[in-house]
Amino acid sequence: MSRLLLVEDDATLAEALSRALRGLGHEVAVAGTGERALEALGDRRTSTDLVLLDVMLPGVDGFEVCRRIRATDTVPVILLTARGDAVDVVVGLECGADDYVVKPVEPRVLDARVKAILRRAAPAQPPKPHVHTVGDLELDTVAMVVTRGGVELNLTSTEIRLLIEFVEHAGQVLGRQTLLKRVWDYGFAGDSRLVDAAVARLRAKIEPEPANPVLLRTVRGFGYRLVKP
């Protein structure tokens, strides 16, 4: 049973959605504000597998909550937003969210997105060899750890799986829809902005100069390619 933290200030919606998700096999805790959500995540007596985070919260909004989560935690985050316009989506993804769902939320659709993220967050069957070197980076696909000079980098599970795809297909151009299928486990045409935002976050963590990437190159009109030094 997965443990979800639903952050939603509308008590009626929170009750209905949490009841539906429990009926689909999840354990759900509810926080009505961003502050309470951060307190719950910081409580080491409990654990959370995934956060469902409303964007429009009183006080600290969902974007800021996501930023604070990402400063210390790699727990997957799905944003719940009433607006699906490009600005909201891009801002949310750049804050570190793994995915987003536009309200009104259909519980079974949300359940499918949650399960897809949790599947890819689980340890994958490691390839052989399981330790890869890219420049001064070392990727261990058994421990699911990326280090630079022996220092572990703070990558989310999505970012690690994305890096694995690039490393295992070094030199090949990987299209956005291909990455959505392999990394996000989408069996349908998904939003390519998820890929672009995730690549931008990954570059910020592994590239010496993210604005001038030397490892993850953009191939305009096609996708991305990893170039080993």
0.75 exceeded by the pTM?
A: no
Instruction: Report pLDDT for 190.
Output: 65
- Residue-averaged pLDDT of the chain: 89
Q: What's the pLDDT score for residue 89?
A: 79
Tokens standing for 221? 């009109």
Spatial distance between the Cα atoms of 121 and 49, rounded to a whole number of angstroms: 9
Whether 86 has a pLDDT exceeding 70, the answer reads no
In this structure, the strands spanning 50-54 and 3-7 are: parallel
**Residue 34 CB coordination number (10 Å):** 24
Q: What is the rounded CA–CA span in Å between residue 161 and residue 120?
A: 8
Q: How far apart are CA 9 and CA 29, in angstroms?
A: 13
Q: Measured in whole angstroms, how far is the alpha carbon of residue 109 from the centre of its chain?
A: 17
- Residue 187 pLDDT grade (very low, low, confident, very high; cuts 50, 70, 90): low
In sequence order, what DSSP letters do the residues of the chain get, joined into one string?
A: --EEEEE-S-HHHHHHHHHHHHHTT-EEEEESSHHHHHHHHH-TTS--SEEEEESS-SSS-HHHHHHHHHHH----EEEEES---HHHHHHHHHTT-SEEEESSP-HHHHHHHHHHHHHHHSPPPPPSS-EEEETTEEEETTTTEEEETTEEP---HHHHHHHHHHHHTTTSEEEHHHHHHHHS--SS---HHHHHHHHHHHHHHH-SSTTS-SSEEEETTTEEEE---
Report which residue type is found at 177. Answer: Q
Q: What pLDDT, on the 0 to 100 scale, is given for residue 209?
A: 92
| CA–CA distance, 68 with 79 (Å, rounded to integer) | 14
More confident residue, 42 or 84: 42
For residues 199-220, one letter each, b for 16 or more C-beta atoms within 10 angstroms of the residue's C-beta and e for the rest, the string is bebbbebbbeeeeebebbeeee
Res 124 pLDDT > 60:
no
Residue 121 or residue 214, greater confidence: 214
**Rounded percentage of the chain residues whose pLDDT exceeds 70:** 93
| Mean pLDDT of the 40-63 span | 90
Q: Could you report the per-residue pLDDT of 92-119, keeping only the tens digit for each?
A: 888 999 998 988 889 998 999 999 898 8
pLDDT at 129 (0 to 100)? 62
Tens digit of pLDDT for each residue in 17-32? 999 999 999 999 999 9
As a whole number of angstroms, the distance between CA 86 and CA 191 comes to 11
Per-residue model confidence (pLDDT) at position 5: 97
User: In the prediction, which pLDDT does 192 show?
Assistant: 84
